């Protein structure tokens, strides 16, 4: 009988439309035209972060469905049937199922595109998806029960508004810190960088909590006696206790995936390595990187490898620490340079670092880095397209350099490289006046 009723609910209730709306909204949230498709876990966690909006909507949809007998004035008639209080159980199953299916399907596009890039697939990437499914289903069933016991037109919008305010306020007050209990809020998980993946304790704690909320809401929805309603509280209390015991502190909820940051190197010498996450773009780097190392070989103590930089590790004199960005179409971009080789040669194979965001100081640091790169490539002037006053500074540095003997020019660029490795801010002075 329940299966038949569930089939009727599936055909006649608004649950399928609610699931379709959730799918469209979650898909729109996940889609990022500027994000490279190979960032598998980043796509999954961006999808999960949409729960801060989807769960209040699911709560509202459940409450709206929960009071649907009230406008028709059928509550007393339905409650007087032999099925009693359990009359909403099939609707709860259908609603939770449609929300879960809509949420899972919305990720299908991102997962397929990630799989086509043959990029690194983190182990257990599906756990955040399952946690999201549980969270959304829990919100829907809880809303169904609240809509039934608080049968008012205002219940659904007030629930959604209250949930949204609670989520947003918690995000503002406790951004990256606070108690572990904050991880129980849907969508609370943040992604420090693309190498991060949820700790197993984070997934387990959130899954237990959402399951407990679902179970309590389900029992309350179908409970016919006061004793059963009291018993219904047990799942949420137990799940809360287990979740708080399991969950890590928020700042350790999404640590680095050690497999994602492991280096993968191209065959042959000199070494050109990227993290495993970016392994698909390694073939694009090898040729330009080795050509740049050949050019840098003119300098004293030149680097002998190009290794992708990540995190906050310091620069090594023996290797170029490469900051790379992969565009949505899979091409590599390094800073503002026009090519990979130019990007590596900028700053004589060093990273931009230090307090370079001050307008005047930052411009002089950038001018020195650009001038060193142009000098290594044999250029005598800055490109005409370069913005002013950077172009004037670069032209001045190159003109000064060209007046010196060849050995002195090499020595100045080598000294500037040493200063850049130490993140000093006097790079322009080193290049032009010493």
Give the pLDDT score at 401: 86
Give the pLDDT score at 411: 92
Pick left, alpha or beta for residue 2 (phi over 0 → left; psi -120 to 50 → alpha; otherwise beta): alpha
Give the pLDDT score at 331: 85
Burial class (CB in 10 A: 0-12, 13-18, 19+), 172: exposed
At 363, is the pLDDT very low, low, confident or very high (cuts 50, 70, 90)? confident
**87 vs 37, higher pLDDT:** 37
Residue 55 CA: distances (Å) to CA of 18, 29, 78, 137, 249:
12, 14, 29, 9, 23
How many CA atoms does the CB half-sphere of 206 hold within 13 Å?
Answer: 30
263-265 and 332-333 strand pairing: unpaired
Instruction: Tokens 């810190």: give the residue.
Output: 177
Give the pLDDT score at 289: 93
Give the pLDDT score at 69: 60
Among 25, 86, 26, 95, CA closest to 60: 95
* Region 387-415 average pLDDT: 88
Give the pLDDT score at 89: 74
Q: Any residues with CB less than 8 A from the CB of 166 and at least 6 apart, and which?
A: 185
Instruction: Tokens 């290594």: give the residue.
Output: 376
CA distance 203 to 183: 10
Is 225 a residue whose pLDDT tops 80?
A: no
Give the pLDDT score at 158: 92
CA distance 412 to 83: 88
On whether the CB atoms of residues 430 and 416 are closer than 8 A, the answer is yes
Question: What integer best gives the mean pLDDT of the chain?
Answer: 84
Among 285, 286, 292, 283, CA closest to 269: 286
Is 358 a residue whose pLDDT tops 70?
A: no
How many CA atoms does the CB half-sphere of 428 hold within 13 Å?
Answer: 18
CA distance 341 to 361: 26
Is 161 a residue whose pLDDT tops 70?
A: yes
Q: Which of 23-32, 200-209, 217-226, 345-354 has the lowest mean pLDDT?
A: 217-226
* Region 398-421 average pLDDT: 90
Mind listing the pLDDT tens digit for each residue in 252-302? 888 888 899 899 999 988 999 999 999 999 999 999 999 999 999 989 989
Give the pLDDT score at 77: 52
Residue environment code for 293-317, b if the CB has 16+ CB neighbours within 10 A, otherwise e: bebbeebeebbebbbbbbeeeebee
Give the pLDDT score at 121: 86
271-275 and 263-265 strand pairing: antiparallel
CA distance 387 to 24: 43
Question: How many Å separate Cα 141 from the centre of its chain?
Answer: 28
On whether the CB atoms of residues 110 and 30 are closer than 8 A, the answer is yes
Q: Any residues with CB less than 8 A from the CB of 230 and at least 6 apart, and which?
A: none
**Residue 403: enclosing H or E segment and its boundaries?**
none
How many CA atoms does the CB half-sphere of 258 hold within 13 Å?
Answer: 1
Give the pLDDT score at 201: 93
Is 24 a residue whose pLDDT tops 80?
A: yes
Which regions of 58-107 does DSSP assign to beta strands (E)? none
Q: Which residues pair with 306 in a beta bridge?
A: 272, 320
Give the pLDDT score at 124: 87
On whether the CB atoms of residues 143 and 66 are closer than 8 A, the answer is yes
Largest alpha-carbon pair distance within the chain?
Answer: 101
CA distance 138 to 99: 10
């Amino acid at each position: 009988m329940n299966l038949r009723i569930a089939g009727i609910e599936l055909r006649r209730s608004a649950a399928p439309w609610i699931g379709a709306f959730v799918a469209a909204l979650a898909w729109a949230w996940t889609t990022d035209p500027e994000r490279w498709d190979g960032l598998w876990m980043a796509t999954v966690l961006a999808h999960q972060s949409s729960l801060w909006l989807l769960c209040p909507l699911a709560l509202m949809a459940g409450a709206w469905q929960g009071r649907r007998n009230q406008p028709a004035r059928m509550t007393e008639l339905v409650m007087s049937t032999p099925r009693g209080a359990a009359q909403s159980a099939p609707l709860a199953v259908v609603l939770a199922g449609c929300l879960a299916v809509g949420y899972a399907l919305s990720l299908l596009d991102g997962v397929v595109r990630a799989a086509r890039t043959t990029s690194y697939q983190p182990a257990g990437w599906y756990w955040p998806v399952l946690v999201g499914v549980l969270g959304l289903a829990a919100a829907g069933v809880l809303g169904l029960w609240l809509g039934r016991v608080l049968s008012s037109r205002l219940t659904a919008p007030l629930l959604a508004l209250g949930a949204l305010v609670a989520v947003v306020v918690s995000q503002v007050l406790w951004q990256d810190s606070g108690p572990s209990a904050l991880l129980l809020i849907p969508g609370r998980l943040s992604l420090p960088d693309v190498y991060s993946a949820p700790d197993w304790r984070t997934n387990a704690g959130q899954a237990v909590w959402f399951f407990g909320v679902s179970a309590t809401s389900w029992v309350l929805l179908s409970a016919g006696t006061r004793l059963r309603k009291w018993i219904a509280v047990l799942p949420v209390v137990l799940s809360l206790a287990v979740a708080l015991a399991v969950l890590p502190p928020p700042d350790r909820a999404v640590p680095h995936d050690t497999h994602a940051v492991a280096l993968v190197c191209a065959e042959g010498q000199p070494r050109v390595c990227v993290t495993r996450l970016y392994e698909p773009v390694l073939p694009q780097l090898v040729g330009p990187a080795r050509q740049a190392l050949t050019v840098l070989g003119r300098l004293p103590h030149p680097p002998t490898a190009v290794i992708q930089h990540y995190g906050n590790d310091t620069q090594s004199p023996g290797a170029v620490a490469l900051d790379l960005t992969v565009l949505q179409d899979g091409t590599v971009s390094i800073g503002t340079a026009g090519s990979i080789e130019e990007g590596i040669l900028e700053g004589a194979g060093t990273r931009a670092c230090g307090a370079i965001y001050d307008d005047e100081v930052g411009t002089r640091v950038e001018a020195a880095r650009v001038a060193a790169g142009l000098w290594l490539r044999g250029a005598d002037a800055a490109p005409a397209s370069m913005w002013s006053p950077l172009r004037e500074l670069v032209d001045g540095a190159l003109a000064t350099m060209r007046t010196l003997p060849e050995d002195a020019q090499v020595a100045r660029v080598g000294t500037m490289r040493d200063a850049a490795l130490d993140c000093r801010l006097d790079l322009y002075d080193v290049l032009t006046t010493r």
